Amino acid sequence: MTAGKYIFSDLKVLDLASYIAGPAATTILADFGADVIKVEPPGTGDAYRFFSTTPPNPVTDINYAWQLTNRNKRSIAIDLKSAEAKDVLARLVRWADVVVVNFPPRVKAALCVTYEALEPLNPKLIYADITGYGSEGPEADTPGFDITAYWARSGLMEVTHDAGSPPTLPIPGIGDHATATTLYAAIVTALYVRATTGKGSHVSTSLIANGIWAAACWVEGGLNGGHFFPQHDRKAPPNALLNPYQTSDKRWILLVAAQRKDWPGFAKAIGKPELLQDPRFADDKRAANAAQLVEILDPLFASQPLAHWKKVLSDSRVIFGVVQIAHEIINDPQLSANGIVVPLEAAGRSGARTVSSPIQILGADKVKPSLAPQLGEHGKEILQEIGFADAEIDRLHQSGAVPLFGGGT
């Protein structure tokens, strides 16, 4: 809890969601000072606690995924199926300004955590709901993960691999984190509405909606009768100047000299001014002859290492991107300079760092990242805060409705 100092210091959030998208949205709120109570099922808790032990994710002894998405929160374990837990949930809903859920509609109904069930308990409540495929239609109850609903269903997976190669797995959580930011924006919008009207509201988003939004430049083209090109083929691309090239040390550069005005400067920068006189590569011919230009550029880029091309292209102000590899990403000085990667205070972990949420507000501090909670770590103090007497807490513990902290993951 972070009273007084931060933007959301007085905001109370009940996080009933699991895995990534919903909890990541409440992480952003926590970063700006909100008091977030994370509700987990008894036993093993949120299954996301075990993400870091599952290849192909990076495997370490540190539960980094849980830390990333649940820092600065408190945890209570509640068996939402238990009749004894109903009063606990009701009191938490009355306590909260925001409730975040990500259950399919039928599960929400079974657990009595629909908006219609919770709103009468707290008319000022912001109920934030996230689904895989939306809350309506024949697939409303279909479980959705970012890799299925965001990546595959939207077509993003189809267009992010080269022609002739099979689809490949993206980094887990990309769609979840994008969707989390959308849900955060919806919550903040609802808080503005409440500030002006005094009324709570129900806001929602879905993984598929965010996948389509991410692919909207293409989808909108299709909606307007646009002609779609085949998958990108780097040997015969639509534009040879918007294409990846490999260097002599087996690194990749993404060339983005794609506008007509870029062509003269690029040709001179790479030491090939004669290309400007080649009729095949005149402005109105270059696209049709892109494959022939790639045949010239491939051996050229392959003749020198990455460091050479970074200097040549940078000195001539040619736009490009280096396809960074893992150790470069985590040590990129730009990330620290802009508060994208920040220090984490953790006992026994000197120099520990974590990824901050992507929103910065000038003059508004974020909470320093703290360790994510162990399962049910704050159960007793939370129950006391919402008015349960010690005898009632003992009864809830003995019944298994609210197991109290005993070590967890």
Residue length of the chain: 409
Query: Which amino acid, one-letter code, is at 173?
Result: G
CB 96 within 8 A of CB 12: yes
Q: Structure tokens of 141? A: 């109850």
Q: How far apart are alpha carbons 235 and 244 in whole angstroms?
A: 10
Give which of 362, 370, 372, 367 is closest to 5, Cα–Cα.
367
Contacts of 308 (CB under 8 A, 6+ apart): 247
pLDDT score of 4? 67
What sign results for the dihedral spanned by CA atoms 4, 6, 8, 12?
negative
Helix (H, G, I), strand (E, B) or coil at 259: coil
- Is residue 325's pLDDT more than 90? yes
Q: Where are the beta strands (DSSP E) in 231-272?
A: 242-246, 252-256
pLDDT score of 409? 40
Mean per-residue pLDDT, 54-72? 90
Query: Which amino acid, one-letter code, is at 304?
Result: Q
Mean per-residue pLDDT, 171-184? 96
Q: Where are the beta strands (DSSP E) in 234-391?
A: 242-246, 252-256, 320-322, 341-343, 353-355
- Is residue 406's pLDDT more than 70? no
pLDDT score of 3? 57
- What confidence category does residue 260 fall into, taking pLDDT thresholds of 50, 70 and 90? very high
Mean per-residue pLDDT, 43-62? 87
pLDDT score of 6? 97
**First-to-final CA distance of the chain:** 22
Helix (H, G, I), strand (E, B) or coil at 167: coil
Q: How far apart are alpha carbons 409 and 40 in whole angstroms?
A: 12
Beta bridge partners of 355: 341
Contacts of 309 (CB under 8 A, 6+ apart): 247, 253, 301, 320
Q: Are strands 353-355 and 341-343 parallel, antiparallel or unpaired?
A: antiparallel
DSSP code for 396? H
pLDDT score of 53? 78
Mean per-residue pLDDT, 48-75? 90
- What confidence category does residue 61 fall into, taking pLDDT thresholds of 50, 70 and 90? confident
Query: Which amino acid, one-letter code, is at 61?
Result: D
- Is residue 377's pLDDT more than 80? yes
Residue with tokens 């000022």: 124
Mean per-residue pLDDT, 341-362? 90
Contacts of 170 (CB under 8 A, 6+ apart): 147, 151, 157, 160
- Is residue 265's pLDDT more than 80? yes
Domains plus CATH for the chain? 12-214+332-399 (3.40.50.10540), 242-246+252-322 (no CATH)
Mean per-residue pLDDT, 354-375? 95
- pLDDT tens figures, 4-38: 699 999 999 999 999 999 999 999 999 999 999 99
The proportion of the chain whose per-residue pLDDT surpasses 70, expressed as a percent, equals: 98
Mean per-residue pLDDT, 101-122? 96
CB 168 within 8 A of CB 231: no
- What confidence category does residue 408 fall into, taking pLDDT thresholds of 50, 70 and 90? very low
Query: Which amino acid, one-letter code, is at 340?
Result: I
Q: How far apart are alpha carbons 397 and 375 in whole angstroms?
A: 14
Instruction: Name the pTM for this structure.
Output: 0.92
- Is residue 2's pLDDT more than 60? no
Mean per-residue pLDDT, 29-58? 92
Give which of 28, 68, 31 is closest to 49, Cα–Cα.
68
Q: Structure tokens of 362? A: 């000038």
User: How does the average pLDDT of the chain come out, rounded?
Assistant: 94
DSSP code for 70? H
